[in-house]
Amino acid sequence: MPTLPSSPRRPWQPKQVPKEYVAHAARSPEYSTARWQKARKLHLSTEPCCRECTKRGRTVVATVVDHILPVRLGGGFWDTRNYQSLCKPCHARKSQSERTIQPKQS
Ligand SMILES: [Zn+2]
């Protein structure tokens, strides 16, 4: 009977996700909850336009509910005052600039 290689990784398992990707995209499990879907939808209905684009005088439909203060930096996940509507490009830009910010040591 064939035996499995002693390597802890099995070929059918997905490759390890790069660390920096995890650090950034380690999405809170809350994102997959129905509660978040509801909160997101509600926020987009109250603020349908991208906040960043609005500041620049453009009207762009928002598709992303962003946490103004990232959750990993202490922002409240369920704090609706911490929400802002963004379009995808604006959200990507914001996430990119936040990537280098480290949480404060406590
Ligand atoms: Zn935008």
- Distance separating the N- and C-terminal Cα atoms of the chain: 54
User: What radius of gyration, in Å, describes the C-alpha atoms of the chain?
Assistant: 18
Confidence band of 15 (pLDDT split at 50, 70, 90): low
- Asked whether the predicted pLDDT for residue 45 surpasses 80, the reply is yes
pLDDT in tens, 53-62: 999 999 999 9
Residue count of the chain: 106
Predicted pLDDT at 46: 98
**53/72: higher pLDDT:** 53
Which residues, by Cβ under 5 Å, contact ligand 1, an ion? 50, 52-53, 60, 87, 90
What separation in Å is there between the alpha carbon of 49 and the centre of ligand 1? Answer: 8
What separation in Å is there between the alpha carbon of 66 and the centre of ligand 1? Answer: 11
What separation in Å is there between the alpha carbon of 63 and the centre of ligand 1? Answer: 9
Predicted pLDDT at 103: 77
